[in-house]
Amino acid sequence: MDKNHHNIYLDYAASTPLDPKVLEVVNITMAQVYGNASSIHRFGLQAKAVLDTARTTVAESLNARPDEIYFTSGGTESNNLAMQGVASQFSKPGNIIISAIEHPSILQTARYLKSRGWQITLLPVNRMGQIDPEILQQSINSATRLVSIMHVNNEIGSINNIEACAKIAYEKNILFHTDAVQSFGKLPVDLRRVPASFLSLTGHKIYGPKGAGVLFIRRKTKLGKLFFGGSQENGRRSGTENIPAIAGLTKAVELCQINRDADKSHLEQLGSELRELMKLQLPEARLNGGENGVPNIQNYSIPGIDNMSLLMGLDLAGIAISNGSACSSGDVSPSHVLRALHLPDKELKSSFRISFGRFTTSEDIKHAVRSIARFIKKKQPGRQ
Ligand SMILES: Cc1ncc(COP(=O)(O)O)c(C=O)c1O
């Protein structure tokens, strides 16, 4: 995308641009690998080979095995498959524990399961937006069948200790799922250390294509399915595989590994620049969840500011930020994540999210903060 000052994209947590190297792979695969991976002729085998390589590469990146990797259409499907798939294995509804700040694809699935008789426990978070593993430990009861805790929150960037949470569930013989959609490529995710039964990923948050995701399902874990049909993905996810998107997702995973150190220092550098500039130019802004989260997702509240008009004002200036829950843009109801942080009501509508990534520059950040400060000064002329 055109990257001049009038076109600054700071909404990477909603979706990332494609890495050009991913685009190349998607294009070539789309044009050349058109066989059905289930066909037995050479065109089918060619597609199957792409799929096999993809499974191995993704598995290696997570320290998992290739037969534990299932390709889906994205994070939403992976989260649904894990939760509904577990629930359908039980003849009687039990208890599911999730955090209060999960993505809607977990929260709404929990709500649906509640309507089917399941009891849902919502774990609170602390001021930094993290769940306390001890509270998780105390919340588990004899009816608990599944625990689902996200790794990194998409609105405020807070990080959960999923290793500790997974171990607690594992010791009690309870299935554990983590939504790692926002953490993959930013934090190490090692499934030999984290005894999770399930883990969700999506391509479009890691510079890969939309409509491709992964559910890791640990060996020997029983799981029902969402779709009935052919025997693709070991019978667990019917439907002809989206080979170009899966190839793109795989390239994106590979690039996250290759660029790991460079991405990390780039994001840390920009993250601290953003925090410093905000402190200097907008000292009244509050960083929701504090400074312990991932550097690339920062959520601020500025008292007296209407976030929707800020968003639209900045958009006119060519700068794209978000009101926080970008996955449902147009949704203006106050964020459940900020509510869980116990933000006062008036601050809920004065919050906005800046999220960035591999292709963001220091200039982009400087320009964005300057524009936010200018916008606010215009709205509050008396302000220094
Ligand atoms: C934490 C989290 N989980 C799940 C999703 C859903 O993934 P997808 O858009 O691939 O369905 C998103 C964002 O879209 C997210 O931020």
Pocket test for ligand 1, best of 155, 181, 294, 297 (most atoms within 8 A of CB): 181
216 close to 74: Cβ distance less than 8 angstroms? no
Classified as helix, coil or strand, 184 is strand
State mean pLDDT over 85-104. Answer: 98
State mean pLDDT over 300-316. Answer: 94
pLDDT for residue 327 is more than 50: no
How far is the centre of ligand 1, averaged over its atoms, from the C-alpha of 187 (Å)? 17
State which ligand 1 atom lies nearest to the alpha carbon of 79. Answer: 4
How far is the centre of ligand 1, averaged over its atoms, from the C-alpha of 284 (Å)? 31
How far is the centre of ligand 1, averaged over its atoms, from the C-alpha of 375 (Å)? 30
State which ligand 1 atom lies nearest to the alpha carbon of 73. Answer: 10
**Backbone φ and ψ of 61, nearest 5°:** -65, -20
Which amino acid belongs to residue 55? Answer: R
182 within ligand 1 shell (Cβ under 6 A): yes
Q: How far apart are CA 334 and CA 153, in angstroms?
A: 16
State mean pLDDT over 357-371. Answer: 98
Q: How far apart are CA 213 and CA 209, in angstroms?
A: 9
CA dihedral 241, 243, 245, 251 (to 10 degrees): 130
Provide CATH code, domain 20-258.
Answer: 3.40.640.10
129 within ligand 1 shell (Cβ under 6 A): no
SS3 labels along 124-139: CCCCCCCCCHHHHHHH
Confidence (pLDDT) at 346: 81
Q: Where are the domains of the chain?
A: 8-18+260-379, 20-258
Which residue's alpha carbon is at the smallest distance from atom 7 of ligand 1?
A: 75
Say if residue 37 is exposed, middle or buried (CB neighbours under 10 Å; 0-12, 13-18, 19+).
buried
Confidence (pLDDT) at 152: 98
99 within ligand 1 shell (Cβ under 6 A): no
Q: How far apart are CA 261 and CA 256, in angstroms?
A: 9
Residue pointed to by tokens 């076109």: 7
CATH class as words, domain 8-18+260-379: alpha beta
How far is the centre of ligand 1, averaged over its atoms, from the C-alpha of 116 (Å)? 24
Pocket test for ligand 1, best of 76, 102, 106 (most atoms within 8 A of CB): 76
N-to-C CA span, the chain: 36
74 within ligand 1 shell (Cβ under 6 A): yes
Residue pointed to by tokens 């993250």: 271
pTM: 0.96
State mean pLDDT over 212-235. Answer: 97
**Hey, which residues does 289 pair with through a beta bridge?**
none
Which residues have a Cβ under 8 Å from the Cβ of 280 and sit 6 or more positions away?
Answer: none
pLDDT digits (tens, 9 = 90+) for 142-169: 999 999 999 999 999 999 999 999 999 9
327 within ligand 1 shell (Cβ under 6 A): yes
In the structure, what pLDDT confidence band is assigned to residue 228 with cuts at 50, 70 and 90?
A: very high
pLDDT for residue 6 is more than 90: no
Classified as helix, coil or strand, 320 is strand
Q: How far apart are CA 70 and CA 112, in angstroms?
A: 24
State which ligand 1 atom lies nearest to the alpha carbon of 211. Answer: 10
State mean pLDDT over 119-132. Answer: 97
State mean pLDDT over 302-323. Answer: 94
pLDDT for residue 325 is more than 90: no
- Rounded alpha-carbon distances, angstroms, from residue 302 to 11, 282, 283, 293, 307: 19, 8, 9, 19, 9
Confidence (pLDDT) at 382: 63
How far is the centre of ligand 1, averaged over its atoms, from the C-alpha of 156 (Å)? 14
Q: Do domains 8-18+260-379 and 20-258 have the same CATH topology?
A: no
In the structure, what pLDDT confidence band is assigned to residue 241 with cuts at 50, 70 and 90?
A: very high
Give me the percent of the chain exceeding a pLDDT of 70: 95
pLDDT for residue 328 is more than 60: no
